[in-house]
Amino acid sequence: MKSVVVTKPKEYKIIESEIPELNSDYEVLIKMKAAGVCGSDYHIYHGTNPNSTYPLIPGHENVGVVEKVGSKVTMVKEGDHVAIDLIITCGECYQCKIGRENICENVLVRGSGTDGGFREYLTAPEDDVYIIPKNIPFKDAALIEPYAIGAHTTTRGRVVSDDIVFILGAGTIGTIIMQTCKAKGATVISCDINQESLERAKGYGADYIINSQNENIIEKVQEITKGKGVTIAFDAACFQGSLTSLFEKGLIRNAGRIVSLGFCTEPEAISQAMIDVRELDLIGSRMSAYQFEPVIKDFEEKKYNLDGIVTDFIKFSQIDKVFYNIDHPNPKVKKMVILFD
């Protein structure tokens, strides 16, 4: 089998090896079918992901077919289509016990802290795989993980139908959060500097769009919300100052929630007063917990319009194209998915 290994920042190679053996009776062998390429894979390749180790096989948005099962496996069988969870947890710590396994104190992430799915076969414990109905094509199933993020972050933010939501960033994750908020019945304002991304967000259901390149965010939000401000804001842009901008007077109303989703390490300029005067909630959000199964059900019910969310499907045999696109950012390449034979 072939694997793609990032040996160190900005260097990768394709290695040949034997198909892995099962490490325990509870494991399954999976033949990869599709793997999404995420912003964090860009950071891994560029050496700017604080959580990645090298050498590393990237890829955390993985789906495939079960090819072999260990003798004690009971929940999946050969031939099942599965999505593979990215999170490996201890099951013992405080966070695991209170249902926050995504932030387990011993968490290991497939595709960043340990090897991921940019390879033809991998093994995983049966507990880490979720069966996908066969009518969901693999090319769509690769999006289960990013939609699990949408489900998680909107759960963290407690989004309900009464909410009027502001989403900074209309890239793939911003769009997925927007669709998830819409599915929960909320009203959504998408904001970005790229008009094409905004038009796209509108096509996927955004109620309002703001181009912050040529429109004043606060004025527009005030106009849309009739002077009240939004009830919740998501930072899906994650650049220095993006989080601070959500605290600007007029954007969010008293008792609002602000959800942050990035790993930007630059300091922000948020004072206690900015939080306390309006009694805002600042909520952190990372990956997802217990969202794969509900999202698989949503996909089965065709709850989300997935058409065009992936802009580039690339064959595993043409993996060089993936790294070329990572090195040559093109606004038209919004989301890549690697397809295996």
By CB under 5 A, what part of segment 104-143 binds Zn ion? 104
Beta-sheet pairing, 87-88 with 121-125 = unpaired
One-letter amino acid for residue 39 of the chain: G
Query: Near Zn ion by CB under 5 A, which window of 7-15, 32-40, 177-185, 302-310?
Result: 32-40
Is 35 a binding residue for Zn ion by CB under 5 A? The answer is no
Dist CA 151 CA 183 (whole Å): 10
Instruction: Count CB neighbours of 273 within 10 A.
Output: 9
CB of 18 to Zn ion, least distance (A): 28
CB of 311 to Zn ion, least distance (A): 15
Nearest residue (CB) to Zn ion, 34 versus 189: 34
Nearest residue (CB) to Zn ion, 19 versus 264: 264
Give every CB contact of residue 52 below 8 A, 6+ residues apart in sequence: 43, 44, 112, 113
With CB under 5 A as the contact rule, the residue among 38, 177, 206, 314 that binds Zn ion is: 38
CB of 184 to Zn ion, least distance (A): 21
The interaxial angle of helices 319-327 and 39-46, nearest 10 deg, is 80
Dist CA 324 CA 329 (whole Å): 9
Dist CA 243 CA 256 (whole Å): 14
Nearest residue (CB) to Zn ion, 58 versus 256: 58
Task: List, as one string, the DSSP characters of 292-315.
Answer: HHHHHHHHHTT-S--TTTS-EEEE
CB of 68 to Zn ion, least distance (A): 27
With CB under 5 A as the contact rule, the residue among 96, 178, 217, 322 that binds Zn ion is: 96
CB of 41 to Zn ion, least distance (A): 8
What are the distances in angstroms from CA 59 to CA 93, 107, 110, 237, 337?
26, 16, 7, 21, 10
Query: Near Zn ion by CB under 5 A, which window of 11-19, 81-89, 194-202, 290-298?
Result: 81-89
Using CB under 5 A as the binding criterion, the count of chain residues that bind Zn ion stands at: 6
Nearest residue (CB) to Zn ion, 93 versus 282: 93
CB of 234 to Zn ion, least distance (A): 16
CB of 320 to Zn ion, least distance (A): 21
Is 144 a binding residue for Zn ion by CB under 5 A? The answer is no
CB of 273 to Zn ion, least distance (A): 35
Nearest residue (CB) to Zn ion, 104 versus 251: 104
Query: Near Zn ion by CB under 5 A, which window of 67-75, 100-108, 174-182, 203-211?
Result: 100-108
Nearest residue (CB) to Zn ion, 208 versus 323: 323
Is 93 a binding residue for Zn ion by CB under 5 A? The answer is yes
C-beta of residue 89 within 8 angstroms of C-beta of residue 103: no
Q: Name the DSSP letter for residue 209.
A: E
* Sign of the Cα pseudo-torsion (321, 87, 154, 131, in order): positive
Residue 35: burial class (beta carbons within 10 Å; 0-12, 13-18, 19+): buried
By CB under 5 A, what part of segment 157-196 binds Zn ion? none
Give every CB contact of residue 18 below 8 A, 6+ residues apart in sequence: 1
**Positions that interact with Zn ion (CB under 5 A):** 38, 89-90, 93, 96, 104
